[in-house]
Structure 1
Amino acid sequence: MTRVRRPEMIVDAHLDIAWNAVAQGLPFDRPTPDFVVSRPALAEAGVGLIFATLFCAPARAGKLAGRFTYRTPREANLMARAQLGWYGSAGPPLIRDRTELDRHRRGWRPGKLAAVLLMEGADPIRKPAEVAWWQKRGVRIIGPAWSGTRYAGGTGEPGGLTSRGVKLLLAMARERLILDLSHLADEALRDALQLWQGPLIASHSNARAIVPGDRQVADSVAAELGRRGGMLGVSLYRRHLRADNRPARLEDVVRHLRHLARVAGGPEHVGLGSDLDGGFKASEAAIRREGQLSRLGQLLQRHFSAHEVEGIMGANWLEFLGRSLPPAPSEARPARSR
């Protein structure tokens, strides 16, 4: 009797599903015309684990962010708490530790979805001492900036880590969190890499050598991530994939993956961080449909082995989380003396 090979789950390291649900009223449990991410769409694509964000946009972002924006740390805090509540009531179950990750991986089947919680932009953390509060409620990854924040310079807003940002990273280290370098300004990247000794990623950043700009990852940063055992997630957003105005293709995704794999020291350091978060209209480009991810795997086979393709599509992220998430609380406690 021929044994049917079990399908492998795809991991997507960046989706803003709560932002779209809370700020734009987009449902997650059913498809929506013109938008690309929903629970059924992810199931159809074979996505089994996502990095789901807590994202709050500053008021200065203007039309890009719509009306759901913040002007003060208190407003950012309330917005992130609203998204946290949405995940607790309507989102996929959260993976908090290695045991939960292993259980999800072993029991996974197509259609089953879980999430690791990522805070994109740290302004909802009113002061670094609050990092422990967010950790207890499931946050496992923090990116200090989107645009500039009180903690660090960010995309389009140069600057290093502030003194508050240094304290934030120290608090993150105490809570055994993962640092996300995506959106950090170059000066803040330099400061963070000098200070941070824990696990780190760039959840949704492409190659600056292909698409210039401070939003992308320089080769030197990708090499340092690889040297430290980190991960880079390639975004499927057109402006992250091409430097011109032509439509993006899956071949552009492959080009970024190949480049980052080379400079980071191997394909085991790259994966997907699609940013196909429902806020982008599907009509912009066919590449935005999650269903295209299966075709991406086929294209990757021209350049990588079957094992490497499996890694890029999900296994690399699972391996990284397996050594970077904290142990289950029962495993972390020292044994009691008898």
Structure 2
Amino acid sequence: MIALALVPLLLTATQSAPPVPDAVTKARVERVLSEAPVIDGHNDLAWELRKSYDGAVEAVDLTRDTAKLEKPLQTDIPRLRKGHVGGQFWSLYIPAEETGPEAVQATLDQIDIVQRFVRAHPQTFAMAQTAADVRKARDEGKIASLMGIEGGHQFGGRLSVLRQFRELGVLYMTLTHSKSLSWADSATDAPRSGGLSPFGRQVVGEMNRIGMIVDISHVSDATMAAVLDVTRAPVIASHSSARAIADRPRNIPDVLLRRIAENGGVIMVNFYPAFLSNTWNDWDNKRIAYAKEIGLPSAPSGQRSTPALVAWERDNPQPRVDVRTVADHVEHIAKVAGYDHVGLGADYDGISGTGPEGMKGVDSYPLLFAELARRGWSDENLAKLSWNNVLRVMERVEATARAMAGTPLTDANDPG
């Protein structure tokens, strides 16, 4: 466990450039990831295709470097291959402000986008709903494509809709996004239920029954604790990091890291610099404030930035967040929760075109594995991080659903 007093020193140490992996380490990482490719918990490509390209999936050539597009993306097939991605949970994100029947329709649109780009590239992608499907895709040289809903607002408060989403292949649901619901509280909004309401507990129970993974990223500490009290299956945090290193409400404190481990779940580290570094987050808040001051509706970054913001960044250099910062979070979670309970959920195409230095897209995972190898990680633990831990959770969720097959379904709806 990393003592809190050491965190400032740890962050300061990341100001010089990270070491370049040597040839032996690169070869070792290639070997590990060839057998146990990365299963990433969260990627927002579907939303970016909808937002930036009006959902015109066929207009975006994923076989080429999408970083070079006028509206650049962080995901494409060459970079997925270079990154040794063997399984990707595609997020079915819609804004938290969309609720009711409109949210259900928007979620169906997102499912359609994922299915369309998977069908457009049958030699690359294969839809997957089970751990066996993921292994089969790897053995066929394909990338298993899995889907997760990023907020409980998306099923419109009707468990019949939740069940139909599962029938369509949705494998997890993040209980809340940025806004609290009547039945579960968000980490970034005022509480409404104090954790989980009675209906919230029914939602978790129904997810266990139908084999849908409960995702506790985005939820409040009280909701995490309440979920861990009632779930019969392991949970995931699909894209969250360690609060002991970066004190953000979206990150997970040590006490809950330990409880997730006791539950058999997995915490999947987010690569967004604001969740990795307090210093970077403070810098970003100042940048956002400056954008508002000069009348910009947002503070775009990377290729989408504006001349004024580029000039501001020149005068206010960005604090370094690189592969070592990501590795610090991975190692902290491994030390507190155990090597069996850490994974990766980078949040590419959901992190506003940013990312750690040198890790701006889905090709960057081997760099992290090389850094962890440099720190002494064994091949066994690297494979747990990349592949084995997530598959274990999937298998246990599947086993729980089989054990509950005779349990009557819950037909309640959100009382509001």
Q: Specify the TM-score bucket, using the shorter chain as the normaliser.
A: 0.7 to 0.9
Question: Are 2:209 and 2:400, in contact at CA under 8 Å, matched by a contact in 1?
Answer: no
Q: Which amino acid in 2 is paired with 1:13?
A: G
Deviations 1:284-335 (A, max 9, x none): 8422233222121111012311221122123322333233336999xx99xx
Distance 1:309 1:267 in 2: 9
Which structure has the greater CA radius of gyration?
2
Distance 1:144 1:21 in 2: 24
- Structure 1's consecutive aligned runs of 4 or more residues displaced over 4 angstroms after TM superposition are 326-329
Q: CA deviation at 1:122?
A: 1.5
RMSD: 2.5
Out of 373, 390, 393, the position equivalent to 1:320 is 393
Say whether residues 1:262 and 2:262 are aligned partners: no
Distance 1:129 1:230 in 2: 26
The 5 A counterparts of 1:69-84 are 70=98, 72-84=99-111
1:232 counterpart residue number = 267
Question: Are 2:131 and 2:391, in contact at CA under 8 Å, matched by a contact in 1?
Answer: no
Say whether residues 1:97 and 2:136 are aligned partners: no
Say whether residues 1:140 and 2:171 are aligned partners: yes
TM-score between both structures, scaled by the size of structure 1: 0.85
Q: Which amino acid in 2 is paired with 1:175?
A: I
2:86 counterpart residue number = 48
Say whether residues 1:88 and 2:115 are aligned partners: yes
Distance 2:356 2:255 in 1: 32
Q: CA deviation at 1:129?
A: 2.9
1:183 counterpart residue number = 218
1:31 counterpart residue number = 65
Q: Secondary structure at the match of 1:12?
A: strand
Q: Where does the alignment leave 5 or more consecutive residues of structure 2 unmatched?
A: 1-29, 119-124, 281-318, 407-416
Deviations 1:50-79 (A, max 9, x none): 1111111134xxxxxxxxxx2x31111111
> Which structure features the higher share of helix residues?
2
Distance 1:328 1:194 in 2: 18
1:130 counterpart residue number = 161
> Which structure features the higher share of strand residues?
1
Q: Secondary structure at the match of 1:18?
A: helix
Out of 209, 218, 224, the position equivalent to 2:253 is 218
Q: Secondary structure at the match of 2:42?
A: strand
Larger displacement relative to structure 2 (117-126 or 32-41): 32-41
Q: Which amino acid in 2 is paired with 1:86?
A: I
The 5 A counterparts of 1:113-124 are 113-124=143-154
1:241 counterpart residue number = 276
Q: Which amino acid in 1 is paired with 2:334?
A: A
- Flag the 1:11–1:77 CA change in 2: closer, same or farther, 3 A: same
Say whether residues 1:204 and 2:239 are aligned partners: yes
Distance 1:191 1:328 in 2: 20
- Flag the 1:75–1:326 CA change in 2: closer, same or farther, 3 A: farther
Deviations 1:223-250 (A, max 9, x none): 0111121111111110111110213110
TM-score between both structures, scaled by the size of structure 2: 0.70
The 5 A counterparts of 1:139-178 are 139-150=170-181, 151-159=183-191, 160-178=195-213
Q: Secondary structure at the match of 1:314?
A: helix
Q: CA deviation at 1:188?
A: 1.5
Question: Are 1:99 and 1:327, in contact at CA under 8 Å, matched by a contact in 2?
Answer: no
Q: Secondary structure at the match of 2:147?
A: strand
